[in-house]
Amino acid sequence: MLQANFRTFATVAALAALILSAARTGAEEGYSEWPGVAELHQAMRAGELSAAVLVERQIARIELLNPELNAVIALDPTARAQARALDARLADGEWTGPLHGIPVLLKDNIETRDQPTTAGSLALAENATGRDAPLVARLREAGAVILGKANLSEWANFRSERSSSGWSAVGGQTRNPYDPSRSPCGSSSGSGAAAAAGMTVLAIGTETNGSVVCPASANGVVGIKPSVGLVSRTHIVPISHSQDTAGPMARSVHDAVVLLAAMAGADEADPATAERPEWALDHLPAHLGAEGLEGKRVGVLRSSAGFHSDVDELLEAAIDSMRAGGAEIVDDVEWETPDGFYGQAYEVLLYEFKHDLNAYLAGLPDPELSGMALTDLIEFNRNQAEAEMPWFDQEIFEQAQAKGPLSDEAYKEALAEAQKATREDGIDKLLAEHDLDALIAPTGSAAWTIDLINGDHFIGGSSSLAAVSGYPNITLPMGQIHGMPVGLSIFGARFSEPVLIEIASGFEHAAGGFSPPELQFP
């Protein structure tokens, strides 16, 4: 479902001709069909490519593929003007920054000054705040072109226990570019699908638990869920201040790291960013390299595997690649999930969602929206049930509304227990006991068939340990099952991003990285 700011073409044939022409022009100008940031910048510096041409190429690809994939909700109406302005700067000898001229697609729960921010809900269809989230302001400072808004699981998949990942009332059902009958996972569904399909060079998602790493894995791209506090959450539609973070998604570790370095930074309005480490984020790309596995001790979290034999085979191959790259593997590391852990973690999310969402709504500049609260959204959905709830309900909204304030002892106890289980008794303990640099596990299964009636069919994954602790998690491709990608997760201590980047970069060199979809749609 596309908003009206897309250009209209007469026929699919015209679209195909345009994208083929754009691809041909790109080849002549020195970049491939699946270019990365370094390749594009080399062409720009050589005068073989302009930001304006690159943006036109991406828009053409979106126009061609989006009717099938539903990955993009809307293009930024200023994208072309942004690109032309950057070209003018370059003509005057000014290289804006590490993302000069590079298109970035944002999940539609991240505010931008030029577009509404809907979280996929019709209730926020007119939520045009006229302001940039701090992470978006940093992207502009780095020279990025804000290309538009990506589709997502409505309300970041925190409305119903029976939802379909990638479905929103605003954007419809996002589909997986490797097989459009299969799920893109979520909730950063459009960000992952668009990056994999070449509809954008870079994308940004958000995660509370799995919402960056699962769609990155299912769509065969790299996703980084950074430590909470590395990236500002201000002006992002929230779920949980103890777990939420934005994260980069791209077709290579290099590009994801360059994007992370650009988007991260301190923000007085987000207290978590005051806890950031002193190491300079601008130096994160210095940790990239083929030798990143050498001398690393990596633990295999077997307790997060074993849910699918084909996934286990890919994990064994990944372990072999790591050994070949110089890593020392410590096998069969176990995290014993405490009794009641998942219930406690869910309780935290319910409490924080009600509190954080009400605070977000109260801070909106539109008086009609700022007067709303979660209870009003519940009523809106009931009144607009045909459009908002044709497939699944809002029982999570209703459960959250029933919770009290954050001063409740039930909330404070649940938060303390869940964080202790994943921090002191979880990642920190496992790393110390086995003298490890990082842990690895399968990110999840291959994508399941989309089922709007019954919802998602998750069979396994490893996101909770890093998500609930607020620690970093990098996923990157480790292979395919019947043509569907599966990712490997690498996670470690809080603010251990430099070490995880070294391991991920070394593994990518050893295992091969991104394998593009064939994009043969019916």
Q: Indicate if 188 belongs to the active site.
A: no
Query: What per-residue confidence (pLDDT) applies to 32?
Result: 59
Q: Is 342 helix (H, G, I), strand (E, B) or coil?
A: helix
pLDDT tens digits for range 204-253: 999 999 999 999 999 999 999 999 999 999 999 999 999 999 999 999 99
Task: Give the pLDDT of residue 519.
Answer: 85
Average pLDDT over residues 172-179: 99
What's the rounded mean pLDDT across residues 317-338?
96
Domain 67-338+419-511 listed as CATH 3.90.1300.10: yes
% of the chain surpassing 70 pLDDT = 92
**107 is an active site residue:** yes
Active site residue 50: no
Nearest CA among 78, 79, 169 for reference residue 119:
169
Average pLDDT over residues 170-185: 99
DSSP class per residue in 229-272: TSS--TTB--S-TTT-EEEEEESSHHHHHHHHHHH----TT-GG
247 phi/psi in degrees, rounded to 5 = -155, 155
Cross-strand bridge partners of residue 52: none
User: What is the three-class DSSP state of 204?
Assistant: strand
pLDDT tens-digit series, residues 69-122: 999 999 999 999 999 999 999 999 999 999 999 999 999 999 999 999 999 999
Q: Looking at residue 399, what is its pLDDT?
A: 99
Range scoring the smallest mean pLDDT among 8-12, 313-317, 334-338: 8-12
For residue 193 the two structure tokens come to: 């699908």
Model confidence at 15: pLDDT above 90: no
**512: number of CA atoms within 13 Å, CB side?**
10
Q: Are 213 and 93 in contact (CB under 8 A)?
A: no
Q: Is the pLDDT of residue 522 over 90?
A: no
Dist. CA 135–CA 242, nearest whole Å? 18
Q: Other CB atoms closer than 10 Å to residue 490's CB: what's the count?
A: 29
Model confidence at 270, pLDDT cuts 50, 70, 90, reads: very high
**According to the model, what pLDDT value does residue 277 have?**
83
C-alpha closest to that of 452 among 107, 159, 183, 72:
183
pLDDT of residue 16: 38
Of these residues, 107, 149, 225, 354, which one is catalytic? Answer: 107
Task: Point out the catalytic residue in the list 121, 165, 211, 489.
Answer: 211
Domain ranges of the chain: 67-338+419-511, 341-412
What are the start-end ranges of the H helices in 335-478?
A: 341-362, 367-370, 374-383, 385-388, 395-401, 409-422, 428-434, 464-469
What is the C-alpha to C-alpha distance for residues 520 and 119, in angstroms, rounded to an integer? 30
Q: Which of 160, 187, 189, 496 is catalytic?
A: 187
Residue 357 and residue 405: Cα distance in Å, rounded?
A: 13
pLDDT tens column, 32-70: 568 999 999 999 999 999 999 999 999 999 999 999 999
